[in-house]
Structure 1
Amino acid sequence: MLFHVFLIHLSILLLPGTSYLTDIVWWSGTIAMALGQIGNFLAYTAVPTVLVTPLGALGVPFGSILASYLLKEKLNILGKLGCLLSCAGSVVLIIHSPKSESVTTQAELEEKLTNPVFVGYLCVVLLMLLLLIFWIAPAHGPTNIMVYISICSLLGSFTVPSTKGIGLAAQDIFHNNPSSQRALYLCLVLLAVLGCSIIIQFRYINKALECFDSSVFGAIYYVVFTTLVLLASAILFREWSNVGVVDFLGMACGFTTVSIGIVLIQVFKEFNFNIGDLNKPNMKTD
């Protein structure tokens, strides 16, 4: 979540007519988010992807709460409920998440990358991306929000696994052994894939923000992006192999709760409604 929030933030920065380039507060926030993304990168190397990616959504409720106090932005009852649901869902995710990594070495990573199931998945994703970018997006992108969201989310299938793979490969680069050279090549390939993925995502996020409301885009993007990232990670790293039925259902409920919370915060933040309205008597007119 933090990764695509960072991209949305930069895309808004570069929209025509914005003057944030001279705003020190905006740049302070951008630098802080960049540092947060570095921490996000380190987290992917230490814990399962199935836990890190959904928990990135915690930045939204905490950011909304801080904005309500520091920037005096209005946080209505639905936004407060969304913050509560996001935190509660995150706790459920932590409780039921896998307790250990399924891939911890470069050799295991290389074996997973050449797995026929994962290769087949990548081929399907690439085919869908080609169809979306060259045929569907030019005709329907400006009128259908799901086109740009699908492109960016499918690219997340490369972004997050590449980030995790770079962290695993980097551990062997500086070791003085025969595998260090292979680790360097693997790291460079993953860096190239990550760079291309980020550049294309940045372009289509910018296009989406020119055509659609950023709040609606961000909420739908979180759900679709996280779902596809979890699918790609499950196929590549097999993180779900040691998860029982109870934990699987718990994680599904936790992710659903977080997603509902994000939608309430993002989509309904301009909705003029508060708890005091429930106490007002109904006024009848003649």
Structure 2
Amino acid sequence: MEASEDSDSRMAMSSDNTKGLILALSSSFFIGASFIVKKKGLKKAGASGVRAGVGGYSYLYEPLWWAGMITMIVGEIANFAAYAFAPAILVTPLGALSIIISAALAHIMLREKLHIFGILGCVLCIVGSVTIVLHAPREREIESVKEVWDLATEPGFLVYATLVTAAVFIIIIHFIPQYGQTHVIAYIGVCSLVGSLSVMSVRALGIALKLTFSGMNQLIYPQTWVFALVVITCVLTQINYLNKAIDTFNTAVVSPIYYVMFTTLTIVASVIMFKDWAGQNPTQIATELCGFVTILSGTFLLHKTKDMNDGSSASTLLRLHKHTEEDGFVPEGIPLRCQESTRSS
């Protein structure tokens, strides 16, 4: 009898993980496509108004940007639901699929050239993600939003949340005004740091809604609404700075950098808050870390591809600046870092 119950429990867990995987894959398709649609909307809005990359909000009047925004919202809803069924270490790495979709569509629709090594970088990102997924821990059984609140208010996670909040304010106040237009890491850093907190809140809110739909009302607890407020605040911040990033830099570079930073910080936050690695042996943890290294290697290749395409010669930079002067819009090939020779000229 006990063996039968254990078997049923494993099957139920497998069913939940399957639902989480399907939702996460769907989310990646929608989010990957949304990068391209939003980019086209931002370009169209920037041609007739103030660009988002320099503080403009004319894209709010552009239907194409809203189409991309709706597509992203659909993807985020699917992602939101996935966290209610599976752990972050299982769901988050599947975002690598959005890199391939975004890079492929950017190559076709935006003419942002993807070098052969960029393709290899995408493949490495996927291999690393699959490695992590295959060795991901089982979902932790949680029976109340109060239990999640207790995990969120433990000293370890409170220290992490405090450090993240301080880092975000420092980047926004000090680094973005100076380096936002030349270093993609500034905008993406804010998105990723805030994103790690939003995922923890999304997971908490998703669990609360899942329990509510199953008959255990969690909406009566104030903790549920606190998590909802954190989600709204973090998501709005992410949208703002992600818009600035994809308007200023090449989409094929923004997507993988955002993915790697966001995934890494989210899993760190999940390990601290939900203690995902507590039930795993050293071999499983080491394999997951190898998956991260593989993903980072893929991102490095994508970086090098960007340099080969856009920053390999002074003549290329001069052509880019000429294009900027002609139409007033920063070209797709803006380098990740401004060259000193360019600044002086």
By the TM > 0.5 criterion, same fold? yes
The CA distance in 1 between the partners of 2:102 and 2:258, in whole Å, is: 18
| Distance of aligned partners of 1:133 and 1:33 in 2 relative to their CA distance in 1, 3 Å threshold | closer
Matched, 1:206 2:220: no
Q: Is the 8 A contact 1:103 1:237 kept in 2?
A: no
After TM superposition, list the pairs within 5 Å mapping 1:1-286 onto structure 2: 2=28, 8=35, 12=39, 13-14=41-42, 16-17=45-46, 21=62, 31-62=70-101, 64=103, 76-101=115-140, 103=142, 105-173=144-212, 180-182=219-221, 185-264=222-301, 268=305
| Distance of aligned partners of 1:174 and 1:91 in 2 relative to their CA distance in 1, 3 Å threshold | closer
| Distance of aligned partners of 1:140 and 1:99 in 2 relative to their CA distance in 1, 3 Å threshold | same
Q: Is the 8 A contact 2:32 2:101 kept in 1?
A: no
Uncovered stretches (5+) of structure 1, i.e. residues with no partner: 273-286
Alpha-carbon distance, 1:246 to partner = 0.8
**Paired residue for 1:275?**
none
Alpha-carbon distance, 1:239 to partner = 0.8
Higher relative contact order (CA 8 A, sep 6+): 1
What SS does the corresponding residue of 1:268 show, helix, strand or coil?
Answer: helix
| Distance of aligned partners of 1:206 and 1:174 in 2 relative to their CA distance in 1, 3 Å threshold | closer
Q: Is the 8 A contact 1:43 1:52 kept in 2?
A: yes
Residue identity opposite 1:17 in structure 2: G
The CA distance in 2 between the partners of 1:261 and 1:247, in whole Å, is: 21
The CA distance in 2 between the partners of 1:210 and 1:190, in whole Å, is: 30
Residue identity opposite 2:272 in structure 1: I
What SS does the corresponding residue of 1:181 show, helix, strand or coil?
Answer: coil
Residue identity opposite 2:261 in structure 1: V
Alpha-carbon distance, 1:48 to partner = 0.8
What SS does the corresponding residue of 2:46 show, helix, strand or coil?
Answer: coil
**Paired residue for 2:322?**
none
| Distance of aligned partners of 1:188 and 1:18 in 2 relative to their CA distance in 1, 3 Å threshold | farther
The CA distance in 2 between the partners of 1:223 and 1:158, in whole Å, is: 16
Identity across the alignment (%): 35
The CA distance in 1 between the partners of 2:217 and 2:251, in whole Å, is: 49
| Distance of aligned partners of 1:61 and 1:208 in 2 relative to their CA distance in 1, 3 Å threshold | closer
Q: How many residues align?
A: 268
The CA distance in 2 between the partners of 1:88 and 1:176, in whole Å, is: 39
Q: Is the 8 A contact 2:87 2:139 kept in 1?
A: yes
Alpha-carbon distance, 1:230 to partner = 1.1
RMSD across aligned positions (CA)? 3.6
The CA distance in 1 between the partners of 2:245 and 2:106, in whole Å, is: 25
Alpha-carbon distance, 1:46 to partner = 0.7
| Distance of aligned partners of 1:18 and 1:44 in 2 relative to their CA distance in 1, 3 Å threshold | farther
Uncovered stretches (5+) of structure 2, i.e. residues with no partner: 1-26, 49-58, 310-345
TM-score (norm 2): 0.65
Relative to structure 2, which stretch is displaced further, 63-72 or 122-131? 63-72
What SS does the corresponding residue of 1:142 show, helix, strand or coil?
Answer: coil
| Distance of aligned partners of 1:139 and 1:60 in 2 relative to their CA distance in 1, 3 Å threshold | closer
